[in-house]
Structures are given as structure tokens and as C-alpha cells.
Structure 1
Amino acid sequence: MQLTRISNSELTVDVAALGAEMQALSTRDGRNWLWSGDASFWTGRSPILFPMVGRAPMDTISVGTERYQMGQHGFARRSAFTLVEEWREHCIYRLEASEPTRAMFPFDFQLDIEHRLEGRAVVVTATVSNRDTRTMPFGVGFHPAFAWPLPGGEGQSHSVALDNGGAPEVFRLSGGLVNPVAGHSPFEAGRLTLNHADFENDAMIFPQGAGKGLRYASENGPAVHFTWENLPNLALWTKPGAGFICLEPWHGMAAEVGGSDALDQRPYTVLLEAGATARYSFRAELIG
């Protein structure tokens, strides 16, 4: 696997050409704050979701009158990106439309993924360019899996606290699709104590109201201040018993139960005009 390493005096990050996916996020003391990718639970570490977030009915999307097969979260995470820029503290990987991508997604696009270090923070930015002659519908999102427990927080309870102090309604998945019936928020005064039992029915999805930032923290130890831009949706996910929690900001979600398979009808789909460019990012600052 081709890897690019970026570093500064505080952090080291490894990024793979496959999926432009972050593979390790380490502080200078050698602690890795990212999930290890243990195949007995889940091999992902920080996949990029594009051109679709979540699942489509029967893994099929439609664009106009044509239908295409596309697996959960799109194809970017399983695609080989090209390294187009590399410096000590940042790198950019690129994926462009090709014959294989057009067989699933009939648009001419460019997707650049930048990883950049800023002190004790890593900033990941997805830049989507529509190089087609028509409006391009898509979903985009991030799926970083942070260690649970955090390094140095072993034996302590962990929580997620929203910066806005909100209590957004939660939605759940049914057969991989979003059940459109909202549930009572698991947040109290903006805070949720994490419990593996809460994920026995898959992810917790918050389409709106989660704001633009949160603090994922152990009770008396390390923490991650996690913020995002241009991404209105948030999900939290793990596999019960696994050593990670995914903090997932999205612009776009899985199709709804009983909903259309049309890509442009999915909740929160982006409709990007021909020739336009849009950017989406998250920032993870490591504390402690």
C-alpha cells in the first residue's frame, strides 16, 4: 500500500493512496489516536464517502432514466487516488472520473483530498469539482474512527459533548436505509455518555441540530475537539465491543425507507452546477 507521511513537531499522519484514507494519527509520544483497522471488527480507519453517503435501495441509484449499481458510501473509499502534492505538513490525493467510475456515476468530476497539520490538529478537506456540462448530484462525508478508549483514557467513561449544547433528534437505519421516524435525542444538555449498547441497532444519525463541533473526551484524560465545515449532518457509529467511535459529518445521507432510488432525491444531496467547486472539511485537535 502506497503511504504518504506528513509530520510536524506535534503530530505524524500516514495517508494511503487507496481511498486517500488516513491510516494513523500519532502524537510525538508515539500514541496513536486512530482506530487500528482490526479486521475482526472493521478494516476502515477514516474512509472518504463519495459520491454517496450511506446505502441505496437494492444498492441501485438512478440518474435521469438510467440506473447504476453502487455500494454503500460510494466508490471513493475503494479507489486508487493519485498523489498530486506532498510537503512536510500536508499532502493532496486526487481521484478523477474514469471509465470505471462512469459505469457507476455518469459524471465528469475531480475529487481532491488534502490532509494538513496545524499544530496538534489535522485538517482534512474534500474539494469536489464538477467538470461536467450538467448539474451533478452527490453526497460527501467523512468517517474517521478514533480510538475508544482514547490513548491514556483506558478504564474511563467517554462522552461526546456538542459545542452548541443541543439535543438533536436521532434517526436510525432499517436495512441500511434511514427510517424517517425521529427518535428522542440521546443528548442531555448537549452531552452523551457513550455506551456500546447504544449501537446495537447500528449508527445514530442526526440530520440537523448537531451544530459544527463537538468534544469527544475521556472522563479525566485526553480529548479530541472535532469541528466541521459545510456538512450539516452528523452520525456516531461503532460495532459493539470494538475499540473505536466514528465521528461522521456528512452532506447527504442514505435513502429513506420507501424512498426513491434517484440520486438527486436523497436527503441533503448536493446539486453542484456545471463548472462549480465545493469544499468540505473537518478538523481534529488532540488534547492531552
Structure 2
Amino acid sequence: MTSSQIELRSNALSLAVAPLGAEMQYLRTNAGDDLLWHGDGTYWTGRAPVLFPIVGRAVDDTVAVGAHSSTMAQHGFARRSVFTPEEHTDTMCRHVLKDTAESRDAYPFAFALRITHRLDGATLHVTAEVTNEDSQPMPFGFGFHPAFCWPLSHTQGAAHHVTLAAGGSPDMRGLDDGLLRPDPVSGPFVEGDLEIKEDLFTKGALVFPNATDALRYGPRNGPALAFEFHNLPDLALWRPTGAPFLCVEPWHGTASYVGDGPQIAQRPNSITLAPKASVQFGYSVTYQT
């Protein structure tokens, strides 16, 4: 938490957003119950990073656009970049990240990435707008990586489930040192339901390409979080062993496949945005009691 973070409040929730990464620092009910993981480095220092201009790892941590090649860490550089506050009310704030000389060394484009957080009663809305301010087509991936408390407060030890609104049993991709195996495998959802257990993530995150546009997280009865996703077809779930949180990650794009080349435009589910064009992504999460 920093003195420059922005704090929002509705009649049901309170929220703080820091300029570093435009990352949420807390999300609480007005009764004081934390919904968002607090970033204890024992497990993971993140809380809700923004993933841009790639999602996941690249082979050898190397990306390319045409003949331009550079190193890029997992999930890109936006999460480690300082955003500028652009607009702020009691219930909404918007931060913007624009290209710099340093960013263009890694990613050779003029761009603007705007992240908006808005509270509406018991619902948090998070939206992103990516604008290509360059004269060339701009390939990228985008995603959100929020971590929510596991278990949720006042759940009295009840088993927690992730339930897909569309039901079904989506295939997943296995991971090999952070890279996706190209062949789909059967996923652990049974008729749209997955119980979150201690041993579920021993091999890393569970990645489900083109999985869902809505889900519910929590016990079958009692407090829960209901999610809706916009233009974010890929889903990842992740929880380090023993950690008191679950990451519910909606993405547009994923890590590279094992053996892929470095071109960003050829990464799975990558977007190529025309010059001067914009595209939006978003999710909402509603606290249900």
C-alpha cells in the first residue's frame, strides 16, 4: 500500500488501487471482510496484476515482432510499470500506461493501456482498453490475474467450488516449465463443477482455452463470488500449495506452446490491432451473501 493509491467505496464494498501496475491493493466488504489476497510474499507478492503485452511465458523468455527481438518476463511488463491516474470519483478510477523509450526497446509500439475500476453496490467492474497509437499493426495478448481469498470469510470450512455458468467439462492444456503443451487433455470439471482441493495445482496452473464467460466461486451455500467476463475467452485457475487464495484469471491469449517461435502474433489466441484502433476487455465480480 502506498500514499498515492486511490480508494473507492460503494454501499457494499471498498477498494484501493495503486499506480504500480494499476493493481488492486484490497477489496473488502463494508463489514471489513477481505475478498482479495493481500500479497504476503510467503506465497505470492501479487494481488491482481494486469498482463500485457503477453500472457504467460515465452520460449526462452524471448519475444519478437518481425525482425525486432527482446527478452520479456512472464506476463509482460505492465504489471511492473507505473500507471498515471487519469480520472477519479468516489466509486471509479482510471489509470493509463503509455509507451516509453524503455518499453519500446522491449515492445516496439506506441500504445495506451487504460485500466478502469468501478464499484456498483456489491459488484466490482474492471475494464481495460488497449489502443494502438502506432502506424503499424500491433500484436499482443491481455489478461487479468486477480487472487481471491480461499476460503472466503464466514464459510465455516465448507468446500469451495468453481462452477461454470455454461456447464460442461472444458479441455485444458498441461504446462511444461510454464509453457503449454499443444495437445488438449481432459480437464477436471465435471458437468461444469470443480471442487478446489489442496492437491489440485501440484503441476501448476490449470489453463482452459475458450472455456467460459461466467462462473461462480465459493461454497455451494453461503458467501460466494459471481464472475462475468467480456472478450476474455481463456481461463486459468492457480493456487500455490498451501496458499490461502485462488487466482481466477480471465485471459485473451495464453503462454506459448512448447517449441513455439518468439513471434507475439503467433502466440495462442493473440490479437493484432490495427493502427489507431482500440479494443476492450473486462470482468465483473459480485459478492453474494
Pairing of 1:92-103 with structure 2 (within 5 A) = 92-103=94-105
Aligned residue number for residue 253 of structure 1 = 254
Q: 3-state SS of the aligned residue for 2:106? A: coil
Aligned residue number for residue 268 of structure 1 = 269
Q: 3-state SS of the aligned residue for 1:102? A: helix
Q: 3-state SS of the aligned residue for 1:103? A: helix
Pairing of 1:116-131 with structure 2 (within 5 A) = 116-131=118-133
Pairing of 1:1-288 with structure 2 (within 5 A) = 1=2, 2-208=4-210, 210-288=211-289
Deviations 1:172-220 (A, max 9, x none): 2101111112221211110001112110100000002x22000001243
Q: How many residues were matched structurally?
A: 287
Q: 3-state SS of the aligned residue for 1:52? A: coil
Distance in 2, Cα, partners of 1:72 & 1:125: 22
Q: 3-state SS of the aligned residue for 1:101? A: helix
Deviations 1:108-138 (A, max 9, x none): 0000000001110100001000000010000
Distance in 2, Cα, partners of 1:233 & 1:91: 26
Distance in 2, Cα, partners of 1:132 & 1:30: 44
Q: 3-state SS of the aligned residue for 1:157? A: coil
Q: 3-state SS of the aligned residue for 1:196? A: coil
Displacement, 1:18?
A: 0.4
Q: 3-state SS of the aligned residue for 2:199? A: helix
Distance in 2, Cα, partners of 1:185 & 1:96: 38
Distance in 2, Cα, partners of 1:40 & 1:150: 19
Distance in 2, Cα, partners of 1:84 & 1:46: 20
Distance in 2, Cα, partners of 1:110 & 1:127: 8
Q: 3-state SS of the aligned residue for 1:100? A: helix
Distance in 2, Cα, partners of 1:270 & 1:232: 12
2:51 maps to amino acid: L
Deviations 1:240-274 (A, max 9, x none): 10000000010011110011111111000011000
TM-score by length of 2: 0.98
Distance in 2, Cα, partners of 1:66 & 1:49: 21
Distance in 2, Cα, partners of 1:242 & 1:154: 18
Displacement, 1:154?
A: 4.0
Q: 3-state SS of the aligned residue for 1:264? A: helix
Identity %: 44
- Segments of structure 2 that go 5 or more residues without pairing to the other structure are none
Displacement, 1:15?
A: 0.3
